[in-house]
Amino acid sequence: MKTGRIIRSLSGYYDVQLADGTVERTRARGQFRKSKQKPVVGDFVDFESENDEGFIWQIKARENELIRPLIANVDLAVIVTAVRQPDFTNNLLDRQLVALAAADVQPVIYFSKLDLLEANQRADFEQVVQLYRHIGYSVVCSDQEPLSQLKQLFKDKVVVFMGQTGAGKSTLLNQIAPELNLTTGEVSKALSRGKHTTRQVSLITISSYEAMIADTPGFSSYEVFDFPVEDLADYFPEMAAISGQCRFRGCLHLNEPGCAVKAAVELGTIAPSRYNDYKLFYNLIKQQKPRYSRE
């Protein structure tokens, strides 16, 4: 029996990388279909080879799992967020930050295409940058020596790149590792949406960064909230930090008197944009239909 990590999944086959760097192609045993389990990229698995074909016998327990992109056992997620083409929206960024917090994955916000802003627009956007830094997020800007900053963050990590279609994930990855020569797509100015250029999730070892990185399919929306609505405030760090000061235990920060979060919004210590997204996400979770586990 051998053990390795799935680095690629395609048409029912799984490429598994062993500790020595060798890669073997495998398939999942029928038992996984019966138990409604499915191996995903990033999984550690036990497998054996029969007649030069490998078969996965067991999926190891996962440290975490993301639904979009579908990947397991991630240390760091870089949210590539364009400021133009497509235009920046804090709502989409906050959705991704909440999803990563719920999965216990450390986020890094990478603001791309800052060169498309005029000088006065760049100065205004700096307020957005400082907002997220003040909350406590790691923020990297494409016009401020990004590669050296990312290299420090990536060491010995499994890193997933995620973000809206056309935001520049493949462009950034080509800067990090030019040998990848990933296809990049032009953004439709009419729709402000990009053409999908990445078709599958793959983990790639980048020795110069001492990391494994994943390029993932882009998307134009993000709708996954797979947790109880009562947990939502825990995934907004600035709210979680002061929620213990609310008058009532279990305060939902909506209509309750003596709410420390609402008071902080009025004082300006919590950004109205973040609080508005909290309320929007709360309503979305309350209204969405139950999701059923694949396992």
* Max Cα-Cα span within the chain: 69
**SS3 per residue for 49-97:** EECCEEEEEEECCCCCEECCCCEECCCEEEEEEECCCCCCCHHHHHHHH
Would the pLDDT of 115 be above 70?
Answer: yes
Name the pLDDT band for 293 (thresholds 50, 70, 90): very low
Greater confidence (238 vs 170) lies with 238
Exposure string over 113-143, b if 16+ CB within 10 A, otherwise e: bbeebeeeebeebeebbebbeebebbbbbbe
pTM of the model: 0.84
Q: Which residue has the higher pLDDT, 54 or 184?
A: 54
Residue 189 in this model has a pLDDT that exceeds 50: no
**Is the pLDDT reported for residue 134 higher than 60?**
yes
Token reading at 88: 């920046």
The answer to whether the beta carbons of residues 72 and 64 sit under 8 Å apart is: yes
Decide: 282 and 252 in contact? Cβ < 8 Å. yes
Amino acid type, 45:
V
Residue 110 pLDDT more than 70? yes
Residues in the annotated binding site for GTP: 112-115, 163-171
Q: Which residues pair with 205 in a beta bridge?
A: 212
Q: Over the stretch 14-40, which tens digit does the pLDDT of each residue have?
A: 999 999 989 999 998 877 777 778 899
Could you read off the pLDDT of 211-234 as tens digits, one per residue?
Answer: 998 866 554 445 668 899 999 999
**What is the percentage of the chain residues whose pLDDT exceeds 90?**
61
Residues making up the binding site for Zn(2+):
246, 251, 253, 259
- Asked if residue 78 has pLDDT above 80, the reply is yes
**Per-residue pLDDT band at 59 (split at 50, 70, 90):** very high
Residue 188 pLDDT level (bands cut at 50, 70, 90): very low
pLDDT reported for residue 167 = 86
What are the pLDDT digits (tens) for 136-156? 999 999 999 999 999 999 999
pLDDT for residue 190 is more than 60: no
Average pLDDT (247-273) is 96
Binding residues: 112-115, 163-171, 246, 251, 253, 259
Domains for the chain: give ranges and CATH numbers.
Answer: 2-59 (2.40.50.140), 65-215 (3.40.50.300), 229-287 (1.10.40.50)
Q: 268: left (phi > 0), else alpha (psi -120 to 50), else beta?
A: left
**pLDDT for 197 beyond 60:** no
Instruction: Give yes or no for residue 107 having a pLDDT over 50.
Output: yes
Give pLDDT, residue 50: 78
User: Mean pLDDT across the stretch 106-125?
Assistant: 96
Q: What is the mean pLDDT of the chain?
A: 86
* CA atoms of 211 and 146, how far apart (whole Å): 16
Strands (DSSP E) contained in 73-186 are 76-82, 106-112, 138-141, 158-163
Closest by CA to 260, choosing from 251, 237, 283, 98, is 251
Better-predicted residue by pLDDT, 218 or 286? 286
Question: Tell me, what's the pLDDT at 217?
Answer: 59
Determine the pLDDT at residue 51. Answer: 75
Q: Residue 135: pLDDT above 90?
A: yes
Between CA 36 and CA 295 the distance in angstroms is 5
- Residue 247 CB coordination number (10 Å): 10
